[in-house]
Structure 1
Amino acid sequence: MPVFFVLCTLVVISTLCKGHFQPCRVFPTDLFVEVGSSVWFVCSCDSVRNGKFSWTLNRKSVDEKLSKRINSTHSMLSLTNLIHSNATVECHNPETKQILAGTIVRTYSKPQNISCYLHYENPTDDGVPQLFTCTWEHQTHNSKTINYTVNIESADVFSCISSVKSCTVNVFSHLSLSRNIAVTVKAETASWTSRSDSYEVNPFSILKMNQPVVTTSAFSDHLLVSWNNVLDSFDFSCQVKYNKTFSPTVESSKIINCWSCFNATIEDVESCTFYNISVRCAVTEPTWSDWSPEETVLTKVKQRHAELLSWRKVSELENYKRIVHVMWTLSQQGIPLKCMDTVKFDIQQTAYGENTAEGNSTACLSSPCDIEVDEHAHQIHLRAVQDENVIVQDSIYVPAVSESLPRVTDIQTSSDKGVILVSWTAPKEPVRSYMIDWTHNGNQYEWAESKNTNATLLDLQDRKQYNITVTPLLLDGRTGRSTQALQICSGFGAPGRITVSDVEPYDTSAFVSWDTKPEDVCSDAVVKYTVFYRNQSTKTLQNVTVDGEKLYVSLKDLTPATQYSVYVEGAAESGQTRSEESFFTTKRFDPRLLTRAIVCGIIILILLLSFGLFCVIMWKKVKEKPVPDPAVSSVAEWLLQSNQKGNYHFQQFFVPFESYCDKIHIQEFLSTLTPSGNIDPQMNQGQESLKTSISLMPDVLGEKPVALTETQHLPFHEDSTSLLSSESCSVNPYRCQTTTDTLVPRKAIQCKHESNQQHERFSPKSVYVSLHLFEQTGLLESGKDNFE
């Protein structure tokens, strides 16, 4: 209503000043109101004479029922329960839709949801709390600074000033625990002021205790949680919260409630498990103290849940001693326990069949542990001790060196995706179960027991080569002999490192070779290689693929005098790997052409030299014709043509391309008698042997053969012949020969080179003819001896 009277007063004043023209306007302007309040607006405009106005709120039309006409130039708008943080109010001319005037109204809220509590200044303090803290909520929609004043009324009235939505004040001398506390919060800016509703509370209901100081003790079957005495004079309740520190699944914390208690027992815990424990307390339930800092504790082994699985690896006998590598795991429901440091282990060895009290004892802190035994059979007893109590125990058998025991055969292994499958053939003897152990480095062993003749090895390290051994466990507690399988990889990784080793560029091709070095024994084999090469000028990428067994390739159709980059990528079933990028530049011309030209030139030169040598040899053979040797020649009779009928003859020697003077002329002997007229028997024998050695020559010149007539010959001596004079044969002195002068006189044949001279025919003629020019056969030697 006050706002309405103010508006009416403004309208009256505007009416009294009617004689003066006023611009259109909406008032009040820049209004701040509390959220949910009602507000009136007046639009005054002298340009409107009919009193018709329309209103909008944030550009949306307002119902006409909310507006009221005051006179012809004034209109009033009434808005109730205004909740907009910022609202724009405008009046319009309904005929022209023109905005005549407008204003902005903003809202504010009062502080609410006040919450206060009493607490201590120091964590170790007790008694009456010294500090009083209140918090509240306040919705603000502007950036103006808001100052808060908290008015507190108890034994005294005091206040707390803050610029944030919380305030803490020391009330040690102003607070009475026997009276309720009344609180109000005032929010104030330069434009508006707002007060909260009064908040009244009992001091004990808002008393916040300090955090409890917690200690936890672990026992074999439970945890004991204790905390300090918080308030002796007040009743209070406490809560114990606990949960696993490491859990594969998200588990909600468990709560234990107790009333006026200082300790609690937690029994439902697992062996060798880490737990987080925290405690809080309160005088009244709504005002809990803060949770104490989490304390982490490791539980001990529960005897009823513990399982001990032991195994051993025995070395070869050396100096009558063997090393037994004893290994074990302490587990709960098949899960290895992590509190091995809270348990002590004792190993006792005895000869097989003896009482355990008679054996040697060895203390071991953790697995594995090595002990010495001789070549005989032994029993190894392992005990787990906690708090001087034996939790669980187990025993294993070590066979004698010469003991005959069964073993498994035909071990088969296979791997797939980090899992190894093992199978074997059972021995003929009955067995209780089988022990399988495996290692990838010979130091860290894992083992498992199987009732079947197969096993699956899980949780293996990737790309490691494993040694797997299977040992049968007999029904009488002994163990059989161990059988080791072939080494197998748990998985195969990408191929090894590929290195481009050589690039031989030519003009339009290049020969590329590379090497592949496996990174480890479990590197997968390369199935194929892909060689990628890129023209650095055109940036065109090309590739060629070869089989995994080839380590080279020839790149073709390259551009001469151009730089290329090349790298090799190897692909296997398990992955891929690639080499580093290499660069090469093709030649402008093929360098192999020069090599080929040099080779061809050398071959041609050798051929020419060979041909020239051949020509020289043939020329010498032609120029230096063989000269007959009279010592290996025979004497025969050559008959005239008139006496050739019915007789054989020696054909005249024919030498191609020889001149007439080079022909051989045969002269016959006139007499075969010696000067004394007697026949020499040795001479006859030599002549007969020479006659038989004469070969008939074919008729080369086309003449009919004539008979060879036998004549008597004079004894033949080396001095019975004489060379023709140089005047008789100018070409070859051995071509024309004659008998001695004591024989029948003959007419010398003159060898001349005139082309028109008529060749003279003599009858009869004789000449020495060599049957074997260069071979000194036995026949010729015998003939020569006969002549002598």
Structure 2
Amino acid sequence: MDHLGQKVLRHFVIFMLLAVTCYAQDTDTCEVIPKNQTVKLGSDVTVVFKAPLSGICRNKLNDFHPSKVFWTLNSKKIEESYYDHNSTYARVTIANFSLESGTVESHMYGQVLGGTIVRTYDTSSNTRRGIQPPKKPINIHCVTNLTTYHRQYTTCYWDEAGDSPDTRYSVTMKQDNRTRGHCKSQPGQNHCRLSEYADTFSDNMMVTMTAANSAGNVSATVHFDPWKIAKFDPPRSIQVEPLPTSLSVDWTTKCPSHFEKCEVQCVEEGTNVTIVSNKTSPQRKRTIYVDDVKPCTNYTVAVRCACHTSLWSDWSARSTVLSALNVSSVPFYLWRRVLERYENGTRRVQLMWKGSFCNLPIEYRLSVDSRNVGLDRTSVLLDGKAHEIEIAAYNNSKMLRHSFLKIPVIGKDMPPVRTPLATSRNGLIYISWEAPPTPVNDYVIDWLTDATQEAMPSWEKTQETNISFPGLSQRLYTVTITPLYEEGPGQERILHTYAEEGAPAKVRRVSVTKADSTWLTVDWGAVGPDQCCGFVVNYTVFYRDSNGPELNVTVNHPSHQVTLRELQPGTAYKVHVRTHSAAGFNDSDLFHFSTEAYGKAFIQNLVSVVGGLILLLLTAVCFFMLWRRAMNLMVPNPQLSSMAVWSPEKSLKPSFSKNLDVDNSHCETILLCRVDGETDAERCSTPSPTGDWTGDYSAGSGTAEYTGLALSCVISETQNKSLEADRADRRQPSRASPTPCSPYLDQGQHCKHRSDPYLDQGPVCSCGDLLDEPQGPGISEERDSVMESSQQKASPPCPTAMSYVRVDKLDGQIED
């Protein structure tokens, strides 16, 4: 590319950059126009916020639209009626712009979009600087101070009406069309003193006040009556004389006495009680008598006067005087406080009285039921009857005042006051109550900080239902409210209060009343309401073991016991109690307690388990013994019968087969009894023709086996030996031959023989008896069939001397 082409290309690039820059500036800029304009004072001002469609403000602010723009002038919002907008701008018009300068800003969503400063100008230099002409002063008034009757000076006062700091004021006073005085104020002053002049108070006065600054001036004129703005000097030579019932106050002034009016102010010393009296003596003497003063009280007295229609003078110099004693108005009261009440009905009463007799020497005489009582002590012992106490004040043997007090019979006190309440505020204690239903003459309120018997309380007598008195900080006051009836004092109501509370007293005693493995019941001595220096609101018990954190439990007053739960068995704990009042707290000493290693629940469960095991064991033993007794129920032994003695020699032991199946048999149990002297071998040598009898019947075998009818009989060895020993006796010829009793009946001829088994040692049963006895199920039918078949056969040769005894029948009495 040649040199010309490079030059053209360079110019083209520069042109494009300028075009892009200009386009960006034209399309992306959002601004307030015009900037920093200056307009004529009082003209309309229009300010526009330009917001192109591709402006940056549209991208930075979501949902931007010119209709959402609002305007402010010096941070104050302009009314929306002055707004205007379209799609690309928002506009505001301010009519009659009268400010020296102002800042106009546009806002949206709490953000400032832009702003401009508008200044004003005028054709004059002052208005171009924004200075306004002054406004007329207001509340103009003047006072003429009279030093002497013909020498005076006047001071005028006014209030500014929002003028600029460079405004100056001047005052001109004229009388009889002549200028009497002129003055100018200093910057920042709102009064001006005119020069002294002589005045006859003949004509009205005209006062002209002018306010001026660099932008102009303005004047105001007022007219005054010279007497109404005159102010005399305070009275002088104040003299105060105490009288028996009042104070006499004299003074001197410059005003003629026939034009004068005065006031006397008496302030009781130590209080804010003020007495103002304006009664002038009819003789037009400068004397005023002040009534309603307390006797023997210091008063501070001052006087002020006005002449004709003039203003009141200032108060004169103050004078202090002590009022005289007015015996008739001296309050003299007698009161009592019951110190103790005894079981025998007597009571010790503390007496006190109140009355001020100034500095007069006073002698007091006390009597109870017209009986004089010495004043060496202030308490008397009274019985339960009604009494009347009198106190009298004497001066030079002349009684000045006296007072009575009735003491009612014990048990007949009148009702007390209702709902007494004590509060405190700013060092004062306020006591209030409700009157009882019975009419009351007065109330007596006494209070003291020391509740001992020797303490003398302060007290007041009133007819109101409230009273207040100053109190000391952190001192407990005991307040007693007693109504006074015609019959005497009523029942007392006692309150405890503080003028200002402090931390309460601490707990002195902490103990454990109950203990277990996982809990402790902690008890402590409650802090009473009469213990200084604050009322207990609640108690907090802190406890911890040697390793764990400190825990706490809070209980409200008056509770003084708490159970600490979820403790560790056999663990030592450190415990202390904190008392809380409205103003602070106090901690007790540290106490040590331990939980039980094994609690009552554990011991009760252990005793229950051991007792249950013992009871179960005893029950098992009892059941076992009962079972054993039932299992060991023996068959009655005939030889032990009380009917006859059956010698062991005559008792034969039956023999049974060892193979006899007794347990599985369903037959009756039969005992085979041998009654003759033959041996088993002789009787059982011949086998049964039918083959029903098998087995060995030898004397030594002791067994027998019968295959036709199953038998089950077990004879003890002792009985077996008895049977063997009795065989010889059975062979004697003198004894009748035994009737064979066989399970196979032979024609039944000799089976009906029965003999007494106890007396004759015969068979204990017969075959007929066996057949007649009821049997178990199925056994009787089987036996009958066997017996019927046996009648058709020959009697078996063996055994011929056997007697069969049913074992199950031997446990009862054998039938005849």
Q: Say whether the fold is shared (TM-score over 0.5).
A: no
TM-score using structure 2 length? 0.37
